[in-house]
Chain A
Amino acid sequence: LARGMQHTAVRQAHRKHEPTFHDKYGNLVLLGGAAVFTTVWGYVLTQLGMQWGLSPVGRVTPTEWRE
C-alpha cells in the first residue's frame, strides 16, 4: 500500500504538496548569503587596513635595531 512505497513512485492523486519557501528560495538565500559574507569579510580582512596582530613567525624578516 502507500505505506510500503520505497521503490514505486508515489501516487500524487490529491497530494501535490505545495513547494515551501525553502524549495523556492533556498538556493537563492544560500548563495546570496555566501556572496554577502565573502564580499564583506574579504574586504574587511584585506582592504580595510585593520591591524590584525598576526604573528611575526614565518612572516617578518628581523632587521637591526641597535643604533
Chain B
Amino acid sequence: MLASRAFSLVGKRALSTSICLRAHGHAGVVKAEDFSLPAYVDRRDVPLPEVAFVRDLSAQQKALKEKEKASWTALSIDEKVELYRIKFNETYAEMNKGTNEWKTVLGGVLFFLGVTGLILIWQKHFMYGPIPHTFSDEWVSAQTKRMLDMRVNPVEGISSQWDYEKNEWKK
C-alpha cells in the first residue's frame, strides 16, 4: 500500500510538470537571461569577442549589412567605420587610453591625510596636558651635556656623534 502511494506521488510530479509545459506554451525552455548568453567584452587579450557589439540592428544598419555582402570596394570609408562600430565598441586605442583618475585619487588621499592632521590639532587642544619642563631648551641642553659627559651610547649612538676634541657635533 505504501509503495502504491509512493508511485502515485511520482505520477503526480510527472503530471504537474506537464501542466507547467502547457503553461509556457512552447518547448518548455525558459527564456535565456542576458547574462547567460555569450557576451561582448572590450579586452586587449580578446581581439574577437564572441558576439558583435550591436545586437539589434536598425533598418539602416541592416541595409548596410546587406551591402557588406557585396564587394567591399563599393563601401565608403564612413560605411566601413559604421560596420566596424557595429561589431566593436571601442578601438584598441580607445581601450588603452589612460585616464585622469590618478588626479582624483591622489587629491583625495592628500585631503584625507590633511583631515588626520586636524585630528592632531584637536588632540593638542582638548586632550594633551602641558609639556613637561624637562623638554625646555635649558633642560635639554644640560641633559645633552650630561649624556655626553657620561659617554652614553659611545659606539653608534649620541656620544659617537660628538667630537670631544673640537667640542662640537661631528660633521
Q: List chain A positions with a Cβ less than 8 A from chain B.
A: 1-3, 5-6, 10-11, 13-15, 17, 20-23, 25-34, 36-37, 39-41, 43-44, 48-51, 55-58, 60-65
**Are the C-beta atoms of B104 and A30 separated by less than 8 Å?**
yes
Query: Any chain A CB within 8 A of the CB of B135?
Result: yes
* C-alpha spacing A15/B84, complex, angstroms: 12
Please provide the chain B residues from 86 to 137 with a CB less than 8 Å away from any CB of chain A in the complex: 91-94, 99-104, 106-111, 113-115, 117-118, 120-121, 124, 131, 135, 137
Q: Contacts of B103 on A, CB cut-off 8 Å?
A: 22, 26-27, 29-30
CB-CB under 8 A for A11 and B81, given A27-B103, A31-B107, A50-B124: yes
Assess whether B13 is interfacial by the CB under 8 Å rule: no
Contact between B117 and A44 (Cβ–Cβ < 8 Å)?
yes
Which residues on the A side are within 8 Å of B99 (C-beta)? Answer: 20, 22-23
B113 closest partner in A (C-beta): A37
Pairwise interchain contact A64-B142, C-beta atoms closer than 8 A: yes
Cβ A1 vs Cβ B110 within 8 A:
no
Residues of B within 8 A of A31 (CB): 107
The residue in chain A whose Cβ has the minimal distance to the Cβ of B137 is A60
Cα distance A15–B161 in the bound complex, in angstroms? 66
Q: How far is B104's CA from A9's CA once the two chains are assembled, in angstroms?
A: 28
Which residues of B does A touch, CB under 8 Å?
Answer: 78, 80-81, 84-85, 91-94, 99-104, 106-111, 113-115, 117-118, 120-121, 124, 131, 135, 137-138, 140-146, 148-149, 158, 161, 169
Cross-chain contact A33 with B91 (CB below 8 angstroms): no
Q: Are B143 and A34 in contact (CB under 8 A)?
A: no
For B106, list chain A residues within 8 Å (CB).
Answer: 30, 33
Which of A10, A11, A14, A44 is the one whose CB lies under 8 Å from B120? A44
A55 contacts which chain B residues (CB < 8 A)? 158
Complex CA distance for A25 and B108, rounded to whole angstroms: 12
Query: B135 to A36, Cβ gap below 8 A?
Result: no
Q: Is the CB of A1 within 8 A of B144?
A: no
Q: A32 is contacted by which of B107, B158, B161 (Cβ under 8 Å)?
A: B107
